[in-house]
Structures are given as C-alpha cells and as structure tokens.
Amino acid sequence: MSHHHSHDVLVIGSGAAGLTLALKLAQQGISVAVICKGETNQGSTYWAQGGIAAVLDDHDSVDSHVQDTLDAGGQLCHEDAVRFTVEQSATSINWLLAQGVRFSQYETKQGEFHLTREGGHSHRRIIHAADATGRALSETLTERALTHPNIQLLTRHVAVDLIGRSGQCQGAYVLDRDSGRVKLFHSKVTVLATGGANKAYLYTSNPDGASGDGIAMAWRAGCRVANMEFNQFHPTCLYHPKAKSFLITEAIRGEGGILLNPIGERFMPRYDERGELAPRDVVARAIDHEMKRLGVDCVYLDISHKSADFLLDHFPTIKARCLELGIDITREPIPVVPAAHYTCGGVMTDMAGRTDIAGLYAVGETAFTGLHGANRLASNSLLECVVYGGAAAEDILKRLPGLSSPPTAPMWDESQVTDSDEDVVISHNWDELRRFMWDYVGIVRTNKRLQRALNRVGLLQQEIAEYYSNYKVSNDLLELRNLAMVSELIIRSAMARKESRGLHYTLDYPDQLEIAQDTILTPSNFAVPRQP
C-alpha cells in the first residue's frame, strides 16, 4: 500500500462538519480524502441526542433565534457570525433532508416536523430524529460519503502534524493505526474537522476521540486560538458505573423534566427564574453547588410524570439504555452529574472557515467563529457544522482553480526511534492530566487552582516531549500529546480572563466586566496575517 497520497482536499475528521464539506466538494467533482481516527460513526456527531436549532416555524423568527444565542453567549458572541449561521439554518435543514436524513414528524400533522424546545430557547425550534439526531446525521452522511466516487474515506488513520512551508499548508503526516506506518498526505487544501477537546477532563460526555487534535496541530503550525477557557459542562450525564459518557439530552428538560436533589427537593428555581430551562452553564453550576452543599455524588432528573407512550416516542434511546441499567424512567428519576461536553473556543477562523495559514481551514467544534461566545446555546452545534461546512466548501471551490499542487515534502523519518516498552508512562500521564484538569480547571475555578494546573501540565509536557522524541508514535501517544497541549491553552486562557462570564466562573473574580472581550492566544511561530 502506498505511503504517499495526493488529493485536492484533505479533510481530517469525519463528523457532521467534515462530511458536509466533503460531500459538497465531491458533488462538484473535487477529489477529497477524509480520514477518521477510529471506525466510521464513532465521533461526537453520532452521539448528539438533542437536535438542530433552526428557524422553521411561522411563529419563530431569525431575530428571535439570534437574540437567544446572544443572550446565552454572555455578550461575547460575534453578532455577524450568529446572524449568518441562523439565516442559513432552514437551507441547511433542507440540504440534510435532500441527503436522506429523516427527522421526527408529528403523528397527527402529516408532513409537519416535530419541533422541541431546549434550555435558553424562546421557541420550539429544535428539529430532531427522536433522541438520536446525531446518529441519523452521521449514518446518512457517512453512507453517502462511502459510496461517492470522489471521496476516499480512510478509517483508523490519525493525523500526526500538518505539513507547511512559507505560510502555506500542504497536507499532513498521518499514522495508519493498523500498519503502524506514518503516511504522507499531500493536498492543495487541508481542513481540520476533528471536534473538541473534552477528553482533557476526567468526566465527559464525549467519545474517546475528542482529544483536541485539530486545535493542537493548528497551534503548533502557527495559528491563533481563542476563548479556550469556555468549556461547556453538560448538566446531565447519566451517573452509573456502567454508563461511560452517556448523555441525557437537554430535550428532557425541554419537555418538562425537573431536577431534584437526593432528598427530593426541586432546586433549580432557587438558582434561576427559568428553572430547568436556564442555559447550560447556569444549570451545571447549580447542580455542582447542590452536590457540594449536600456532599452527594449526583442529583436526579425526573420525567416520570409523562406517559410511558410519550417517553417511548420521544426518548427511545435513553429509555432503553436506562432500562438496561435497571432504571425505569417512566417510574423513577434518572441519576445525573455534569460532565465536560463542548469546546466553545478553538482555532480562529473567518466565516468561510479560513485560518491564519493559507490552505488551512477549520470547521465545526475545532473552530472558533464567534458563534458561541461564552456559552453555546443548545443545539446550535450541529447547525454550525452544516452551515460552516457548506461555507468552507463554497470558498474552497472558488479558490481551488488558482492553487497549484504542493511540492513534495520529505517522507516521515523514524530511523532514530524505537518501539516503546514503557506504555505505562502514557496511561499514567493520561490519567493524571485528566484528573487535575477536572479538579483544578473545572466548573468553578480559582487563581491558585489554575496555577497548580499550569505547573503540572508543564512537567507533563516535558515528559511527553522526551517520550515522543525517542519512541515510535502511536494513537495513544498522539492523543496524550495533543491533550496536554490543549490543556495548557485552556489553563492559559482561563488565567487571562479576570472576570466570571458564561462558562468561565472563578471565585477570585466573581463579577462580570463591563466590556466583553475575546481571549486570543498567539503562538510564538505566528508570523503571517490571516490569508487574504
């Protein structure tokens, strides 16, 4: 098998953003390679339960959706990015329908899609496929990509680092996990669609691959990152020893679910007048405070007052999974805890997905567009993937004819490294990193905790760099290296924000400053302005 590949466009990541972009390019005759680090349908898109926020109802409006997003974002959203995204929402849904995605409809209203409501939304505007919307998107787009002659989709391939010369990205070095060989992928355009960095935390709703690979690679290549301190903690992940990373969708609260502490008290109205429909950061902090106040391991989400037929129709996946674990949601509340869920910051881009480096784009959770501000509004994430995947594809189509094939880069040299017999170092460092990030850089922060975390991550990075220099790369080593990098970016961003805003809450600066500003970090090798 060849260790040298050449395509017009290389897409790193196979979630909603990457596949939307790949399909829109391939349908115009462009040669696209898509790599995913595991098998297909294993990324964050697949596990997204709630739905896609879109203006589809006559009683709703673009202005209302924009305002809800701005309100949730703590005055830090970029209004132009928000409006652009919302204005594209109906078109994006229509494109997904054309690809074959099947959304839930009202039983009594033929041909009318069922819209639900989630925290922070003033209208029912969440179009969904029962409680497995991400699965419907992921499976449909993956099937389309696998059968398209212009797309080469490679599983179990993980990017090592980007290839760049003279401020131009020319592809990436990619590890084939099965052969253990590092391949060279040349491309005129490279797209980072690798998702977020929530595996930096001990408890997360994300699948194992969410290790911030794209953000770390872009930073090492010389791209700026922004607002990495805003980590969204989903308020309700299932608390059970056998339920790793299982999310309890926001839509349960949208359909009337209430939060109870272990002594049976409903507590959300004490924290916010919107109760369970408050934005996620408010709900997550309330749960965290309630757990610490009472010294308990979890709280409970109760939807048992709804009929069994309603729950089976709207939440079949959650009902089935809970029943497997001995929890009957039609009769009893669900034990839940907050968990790291979404990375609101990322690689700085414009509204076409272009980064600081020519030929390099970033889309989806990897990117920072200004849409989410200090807190992501529920169900805006899948919308962002489709909107910006499409916007980047449109920009790439315009620019590709003027781009020449990149010069040949050297093949990967591993002549000076050996196979590791010390993999315990990786597993130990992985566990230590995620544990101190949870303890020191979690839902509630302090200067002292952040300084401790920065000291620890610096020491870990020294160990990881030495290991990386002496041994052959592996998926676990690459993920650890990237997680340590994005953890440092999260910590440095949190230390730079001298206020509490949105998802960033610190006991040392509990008030909000009058002027809202992004936290922008610039790498030492940043030497070029944003591409024209």
Q: Which residues are catalytic?
A: 280
**Closest C-alpha among 45, 154, 180 to residue 101:** 45
Residue 457 Cα distances to 197, 462, 467, angstroms: 15, 9, 15
The helix/strand/coil state of 107 is coil
Asked if 35 and 10 touch (Cβ cutoff 8 Å), the reply is yes
Structure-token pair, residue 456: 């620890």
Distance CA(499)–CA(495), nearest Å, equals 10
Q: What H or E segment, with its residue span, contains residue 184? A: strand 182-192
Residue 135 Cα distances to 103, 118, 128, 155, angstroms: 11, 19, 11, 18
Distance CA(200)–CA(485), nearest Å, equals 10
SS3 sequence, 229-296?
Answer: CCEEEEEEEECCCCCCCCECCCHHHHCCCEEECCCCCECHHHHCCCHHHCCHHHHHHHHHHHHHHHCC
Quickly count: other Cβ atoms within 10 Å of residue 81's Cβ: 22
Chain mean position to CA 287: 22
CA neighbours within 13 Å on the CB side: how many for 281? 25
Cβ contacts of 196 within 8 Å, gap of 6 or more: 44, 206, 210, 212, 342, 343, 346, 365, 366
Chain mean position to CA 182: 26
Biggest CA pair distance of the chain: 68
**Closest C-alpha among 187, 181, 188 to residue 3:** 181
- Residue 204 is classified by DSSP as B
Q: How many residues does the chain have?
A: 532
Structure-token pair, residue 532: 């024209």
Strand bridging mode 346-348 / 225-226: antiparallel
